[in-house]
């Protein structure tokens, strides 16, 4: 009698190694107890929001909210691919801004890819739009990206203060990638498609209830400083609804365990490196954000570090170098708009790649990285310059 073992992926092994190292830093006192306590107080609401918004997005997907929305957008396009393209771009932007970049990469991507395939349109530009905009549109609000949540308190503590600095660079982050994709795939995007029939959700009560929860949540995420509170309330409402009408959907895998473990371990390890003075050599990058040159330098450093090691540790490592709200926004430009080149630069990119390949859309890393480098360099540079103009 034999047994079948379950393979542990390389990503899981890396996360486990990082967790063990982080635990050793805390238990062994390498990270001083006061620093560990301060770190815990800082990241608890951030990670709490990540859990809540992930549950909201997953359950909304299971209630067919995104499927019905995408089908509605396809019918609104009336058979013109360029109109469908504009609708998908809008969906990706709204999803990223209010529900975070991972929601766009994991949930919106398969929806729009399957939609494009179902109406006979090349799905590649739509897939690329979701992954690029998942990153570059994630500068808008604190809730759009985990890095933003970390920086929000130092920038002003509320969405209004954050948006006062982020709105112009965010527009750049949307405009340049969309323009590049539109020009590159212009032959496919200026054609026609067959309009799909209306899609009806299997459970209309669940669909309308989940849609109402989302509609109520989105504006709250833009105006409530403690965003984990409305997100947790929305998650709780949806969990109760599904417990009544579709209990089998409720599962432990709704919680993004691996992402939480990875983020928590990186927080501890980078904080340990800061506490032990291992990153003092980065002091040369420190800037209060007054001049164009320092802002460009900080944004470029963030982009290079993100493509080298991943955008979350890149932000954590470089955060002390940004000594003003404007400088922090420049750093966010680098780590949010810049990770378009290497596959590991953003967790959203890795999650996106797994989704699109499983749907039969081939993605070659060579062209992906080449075009990503073109877009990243131009977008980061222009966004940093625009930040300097609007903050001066």
pLDDT tens readout for residues 335-377: 999 999 998 888 888 888 878 887 888 888 899 999 999 999 9
Write down the pLDDT at residue 194.
82
Residue 155 lies in a domain: yes
As for how many domains the chain has, the answer is 1
Percent of the chain with pLDDT over 70: 95
Does pLDDT of 317 surpass 60? yes
Whether 380 is in a domain gets the answer: yes
Asked whether residue 283 carries a pLDDT value surpassing 80, the answer given is no
Average pLDDT over residues 73-90: 88
Report yes or no on 219 lying in a domain: yes
360, part of any domain: yes
- Residue 74 CA to residue 83 CA, distance in Å, equals 8
Per the rule left: phi > 0, alpha: psi between -120 and 50, beta: everything else, 64 is left
Over residues 302-322, mean pLDDT: 89
Residue 35 placed within a domain? no
pLDDT score, position 107: 83
Inside any domain, residue 224: yes
Domain that holds residue 103: 44-391
pTM (global) more than 0.85? no
The string of pLDDT tens digits covering residues 3-43 is 444 567 666 788 899 899 999 999 999 999 998 998 888 88
Q: Which residue has the higher pLDDT, 46 or 285?
A: 46
pLDDT of residue 286: 63
Residue 139 has pLDDT above 90, yes or no: yes
Q: Span 181-193, mean pLDDT?
A: 90
Residue 31 lies in a domain: no
Q: Identify the pLDDT of residue 2.
A: 45
pLDDT in tens, 100-138: 888 898 888 988 888 888 888 899 999 999 999 999 999
Average pLDDT, the chain: 88
Over range 143-147, report the average pLDDT: 91
Q: Is the pLDDT of residue 93 over 90?
A: yes
pLDDT of residue 225: 77
- Is residue 127 situated within a structural domain? yes
The pLDDT score that the predictor gives to residue 338 is: 95
């Amino acid at each position: 009698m034999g047994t079948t073992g379950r393979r542990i992926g390389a990503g899981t092994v890396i996360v486990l190694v990082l967790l063990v190292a982080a635990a050793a830093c805390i238990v062994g006192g390498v990270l001083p107890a006061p620093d560990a306590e301060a770190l815990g107080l800082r990241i608890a609401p951030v990670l709490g929001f990540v859990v809540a918004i992930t549950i909201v997005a997953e359950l909304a997907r299971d209630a067919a909210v995104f499927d019905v929305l995408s089908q509605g957008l396809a019918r609104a396009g009336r058979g013109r691919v360029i109109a469908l393209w504009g609708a998908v771009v809008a969906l990706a932007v709204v999803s990223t801004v209010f529900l975070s970049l991972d929601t766009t990469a994991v949930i919106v991507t398969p929806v729009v890819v399957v939609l494009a395939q179902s109406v006979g349109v090349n799905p590649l530009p739509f897939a690329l739009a979701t992954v690029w905009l998942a990153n570059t549109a994630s500068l808008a609000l604190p809730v759009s990206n985990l890095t933003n949540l970390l920086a929000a308190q130092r920038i002003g503590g509320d969405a209004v203060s954050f948006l006062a600095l982020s709105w112009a660079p965010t527009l750049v982050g949307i405009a340049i990638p969309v323009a590049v994709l539109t020009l590159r795939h212009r032959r496919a995007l200026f054609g026609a498609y067959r309009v799909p029939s209306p899609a009806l959700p299997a459970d209309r009560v669940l669909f309308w209830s989940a849609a109402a929860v989302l509609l109520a949540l989105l504006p709250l995420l833009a105006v409530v400083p403690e965003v984990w509170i409305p997100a947790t309330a929305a998650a709780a409402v949806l969990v109760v609804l599904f417990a009544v009408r579709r209990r089998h959907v409720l599962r432990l895998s709704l919680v993004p365990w691996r992402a939480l473990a990875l983020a928590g371990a990186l927080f501890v390890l980078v904080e340990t490196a800061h506490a032990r003075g291992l990153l003092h050599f980065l002091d040369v990058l420190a800037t209060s954000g007054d001049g164009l040159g320092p802002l460009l330098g900080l944004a470029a450093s963030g982009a290079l570090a993100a493509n080298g090691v991943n955008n979350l540790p890149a932000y954590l490592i470089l955060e002390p170098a940004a000594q003003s709200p404007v400088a922090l926004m420049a750093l966010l430009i680098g780590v949010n708009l810049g990770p378009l080149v290497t596959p590991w630069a953003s967790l959203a990119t890795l999650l996106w790649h797994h989704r699109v390949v499983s749907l039969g859309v081939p993605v070659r890393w060579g062209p992906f990285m080449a075009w990503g480098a073109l877009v990243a360099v131009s977008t980061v540079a222009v966004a940093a310059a625009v930040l300097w103009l609007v903050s001066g």
